[in-house]
Amino acid sequence: MTALTLSNVCKSFGKVDVLKNIDLQVEDGEFVVFVGPSGCGKSTLLRVIAGLEDATSGDIRIGGQLVNQTPPAKRGIAMVFQSYALYPHLTVRDNMALALKQEGQPRDVIDARVSEASRMLNLEPYLQRRPAELSGGQRQRVAIGRAIVRQPKLFLFDEPLSNLDAALRMNTRIEIANLHRTLKGSMIYVTHDQTEAMTLADKIVVLRDGRVEQVGSPMELYNNPANQFVAGFLGAPSMNFLPAARVGAEGGRTIGIRPEHLTIAADGPLSGKVVHVEELGGDTNVIVDLGKEEKLTVRLFGQHHVSPDSPVSLGYDPQNAFMFDQEGRRVA
């Protein structure tokens, strides 16, 4: 069964078109991540799905039902925000139970659902605490628990980890992934962080300027980007781009080479000067200036001692390179 279908969805604020002809399907049990730069429309799209914003045109179906005119509370969705949105005067238990009480659910149903969600999220020791007595990660888990107890058709996450520090982001990311495997629910997750997208998603939707650039699994998009934007957006460090003529390549205007596919070679076709070295322990990033404001990042696995200001030659396997035309479309 299809959890969500968007057909030609558009959204405008006055004369500004924010979403442009969005077509998308989310299958039952699928984890889909919307990713793109700030201002690309990903959060607006999530709000349109949730009913917090009305679509200017197009159809939105959740579980096969047209919901364009359905209020948010009746759409069968649960949303987790980056700001947690917890009631400070209520305990963890009461925050998680509030929506069920408002729905008029029986006490035994409320207790059972809150108990199960708190067990899944390791919140049992904190049920009698108030939000001010919790860490940021614990508060976010409460917000997720509040969504779980509603047993929605569709979970919506709006940049839920952006307020957490790096260690908590990684831990909570793992918890969300485990939660998806346990619940087998359909989830849509908005982020600007391509690492979150790559590590969480069954399917990534890359957005730019209100349009869908490409949809596919993380490795499909990484290995077969449709255009230069997708190629450059996914991957850390990001893909290197050079004029194709710089290396004598034919069939396109721009060549793209991922940092891990560049090597330091004595007789490589590219030469320049090392301007910076990032020694990260597990790998080493070497930034090389080729002149004419062209800089490349080389990712070397393991620990390498490369001196700044030293001259280097770079090589690559043409089979690992990508070619793009003057419009940025992938041609090879």
pLDDT (tens digit per residue) in 293-313: 899 999 999 999 999 999 999
* Distance (Å, whole) CA 112 – CA 292: 65
8 A C-beta contact, residue 299 and residue 263: no
What pLDDT is recorded for position 209?
97
- pLDDT tens, 171-208? 888 889 999 999 999 999 999 888 899 999 999 999 99
Sheet of 31-35: strand order equals 77-81, 154-158, 186-191, 31-35, 203-208, 211-216
Structural domains of the chain sorted by starting position, each given as residue range(s) with its CATH number in brackets: 2-231 (3.40.50.300), 240-246+255-324 (2.40.50.140)
Measure the N-to-C terminal CA separation of the chain; round to a whole number of Å.
Answer: 36
* Distance (Å, whole) CA 47 – CA 34: 12
* Distance (Å, whole) CA 254 – CA 242: 6
* Distance (Å, whole) CA 80 – CA 149: 12
Chain centroid offset of residue 11 CA: 21
Share in percent of the chain as helix, strand, coil (round to 5) = 30, 35, 35
What are the structure tokens assigned to 236, written together?
A: 């850390």
The residue among 84, 86, 85, 48 whose CA lies nearest residue 67 is: 48
What pLDDT is recorded for position 156?
96
Whether the model pTM is above 0.85? yes
